[in-house]
Amino acid sequence: MSVLSTHTQTTASQATAVDLGPAVALSCRECGERFPLSPEFACRSCFGPLVIAYELPDGDPEALRARIEAGPQSIWRYAPLLPVPATVAERPNLNPGCTPLVRADRLAAELGVTGELYVKDDSANPTHSFKDRVVACAVEAARAFGFTTLSCSSTGNLAGAVGAAAARAGLRSCVFIPEGLEQGKVVMAAVYGGEVVAIDGTYDDVNRFCSELIGDPAGEGWGFVNVNLRPYYSEGSKTLAFEICEKLGWRLPDQLVIPIASGSQLTKIDKGLRELVAVGLVEDRPYRIFGAQATGCSPVAQAFRAGYDVVRPVRPDTIAKSLAIGNPADGPYVLDIARRTGGAVEDVSDEQIVDAITLLARTEGIFAETAGGVTLGVTRELIEAGTLDPSLTTVVLNTGDGLKTLDAVAPVAGPTATIPPSLDAFRAAGLG
């Protein structure tokens, strides 16, 4: 029995009487066919990916803006634009979001940026990565569909976010990771008490295994946040767009630089920006979106440069393990967005990643994980190539905490000197 047919059978009863706020249906991204809200991720007609269709607020934008601004200091202030019940803030959850949008003037000076430069620092989330946003939305869908186990395939950050969110919600968790992840991410995934299963293979191998498990009786009652709950899960990334625009005084940034793993974050940020325009919360004007990858896993960047509309899978080999997805599901849609907005997709080497991590730490006091180094490294490359306009308002995303990827920077970050405890030794070391 196929995974899809299993979903169809098990969701017939689940597709009724679910409260997911303004979400009204699942819609195929390719053919447009609609289906009832259920834990499905692929179109029954063309096998295209499913996304959430909404009944968005169509009243007074000022009233909606006032409602949002009076809401909780978390992503739940945007509940009218998310697939969650109106009472979501009252449920036990980690309340992620409302992370800093840092005006990065010292970094701007180093890069030669004359316009406003901001770093959206999502390392301030509960488990120190943006994954808390998407998992929070997935938990609400899991509750609505009666799942008892929360699961995922993960390159590290998602495993920790799922473990923490499940613990807070009183759900069992069992997460799957590729063997050889950074130790900090493995420990964070395991400390919350759920099962952590390492798979001998790449992330793509892990993801394929999880898709098989969904179709097996052993996976009954399991909500895989980035597989059968993916349409709901991915909507959490829109809150990055919402927060950025709200912090900018309800205006669109001119340019955004976003890391690419599966590509879902980039596509949903674009969706969030367009929804803000649709409901009248921001003025419609052009913006450009740039994607960032590591050279050791850059299938989307390669396709962009070659002018392709599809992405050829690669085998990852990079220190940026959180972005090491060789066959990114949203790759073709990233290409569409980059071209539609006048952006681009570029990549940087591992050496450039480390250099960018230390640059951000030195100039703004933000210690980014390797994914943040990728994004800033690509930003610098785009500026030097004349592709990104340094006079415009630009937002760069840091999606995780550098404490999770210490091995990447350990060779270049250590004690300046080791001396005896005496003033003479201090002066002799040239430190006085």
Helices (H), 248-330: 264-278, 299-306
Q: What are phi and psi of 83, to 5 degrees?
A: -80, 65
Q: Report the pLDDT value the prediction gives residue 191, as an integer from 0 to 100.
A: 97
d(CA 170, CA 29): 33
Residue 400 · residue 154 · CB < 8 Å: no
Mean pLDDT confidence for 12-39: 85
Indicate whether 361 pLDDT > 50: yes
CATH of 73-432, one of 3.90.420.10, 3.20.20.60, 3.60.20.30, 3.40.50.1100: 3.40.50.1100
Q: Cα dist. 417→90, 238, 297, 430 in Å?
A: 51, 45, 36, 10
Q: What are phi and psi of 118, to 5 degrees?
A: -125, 150
pLDDT tens digits along 339-350: 999 999 999 999
d(CA 125, CA 400): 9
pLDDT tens digits along 37-83: 999 999 999 999 999 999 988 889 999 999 999 999 999 999 999 99
pLDDT tens digits along 365-398: 999 999 999 999 999 999 999 999 999 999 999 9
Residue 396 · residue 102 · CB < 8 Å: no
Q: Cα dist. 91→11, 237, 306 in Å?
A: 24, 20, 48
pLDDT tens digits along 245-297: 999 999 999 999 999 999 999 999 999 999 999 999 999 999 999 999 999 99
Q: Report the pLDDT value the prediction gives residue 161, as an integer from 0 to 100.
A: 97
d(CA 335, CA 2): 30
